[in-house]
Amino acid sequence: SQTIHQWPATLVQPVGSPLSLECTVEGTSNPNLYWYRQAAGRGLQLLFYSVGIGQISSEVPQNLSASRPQDRQFILSSKKLLLSDSGFYLCAWSGTSHEETQYFGPGTRLLVL
Amino acid sequence: AQSVTQPDIHITVSEGASLELRCNYSYGATPYLFWYVQSPGQGLQLLLKYFSGDTLVQGIKGFEAEFKRSQSSFNLRKPSVHWSDAAEYFCAVARMDSSYKLIFGSGTRLLVRP
């Protein structure tokens, strides 16, 4: 069966520091991968998605970037964190055909101070 | 543009009572619709989905949802709520472009009174 992992689970970082969040998927190949951010008390906002290695699409302009160095690895990064980057970051995967469901990881809670 | 509206930010029900969470969508064609549940500090778990066919969809944990095209709605229901159902519930619609990305509603937080 497929599983999706995210780490770290919780992260506290100072403003201006770099960021690297990792997401890996097991039990499937060539998945679509997604990064979402969930601000406190709000819904999910899609940040990036990827349909293959090295293929990244950005949904909203921001201080963050994403990379997909391997088929089942998706990384969310920042060179300099802002206070507004605080939130709950969720990674998800799906198959690549129609009628595919997205399955979510456990999330990473980021607090920027 | 596609959008999803969950008009109720919070809902409180008594344990054993019935539940209906509302979801309205805006989309020109037949949508792919989903309900997810999120416990505090956790990721999202899929409850059920609608792609086509029978408009009454059964999901996990005793939940069901009914797709009503005429009302652009996909309301989630459960006949008898358990205390463990307290969580946040998200309705989502899939964007039918090449990415099949999800658009989420803002969520409804369910509180269950003992």
At residue B61, φ and ψ (nearest 5 deg) are 60, 25
Residue of B nearest to A5 (CA): B43
Q: In terms of DSSP bridges, do strands A19-26 and A73-78 run parallel, antiparallel, or are they unpaired?
A: antiparallel
pLDDT in tens, A18-31: 999 999 999 999 99
> Is the minimum CB–CB distance between A1 and chain B shorter than 8 Å?
no
**Cβ neighbours of A44 in B, within 8 Å:** 44, 90, 102, 104
Q: Which of A57, A63, A73 is nearest to A6 (CA)?
A: A73
pLDDT in tens, B10-29: 999 999 999 999 999 987 67
Q: Pull the structure tokens for residue B111.
A: 């509180």
> Is the minimum CB–CB distance between A43 and chain B shorter than 8 Å?
yes
**Cβ neighbours of B51 in A, within 8 Å:** 99
CA distance B86 to B40: 9
Across the interface, of B46, B99, B104, the residue whose CB is closest to A44 is B104
pLDDT of residue A95: 86
Predicted confidence pLDDT, tens digits, chain B (114 residues): 778 999 999 999 999 999 999 999 987 677 889 999 999 888 999 999 998 888 999 999 999 999 999 999 999 999 999 999 999 999 999 876 656 678 899 999 999 998
**Cβ neighbours of B46 in A, within 8 Å:** 101, 103
CA distance B7 to B20: 12
Number of A:B CB contacts under 8 A?
47
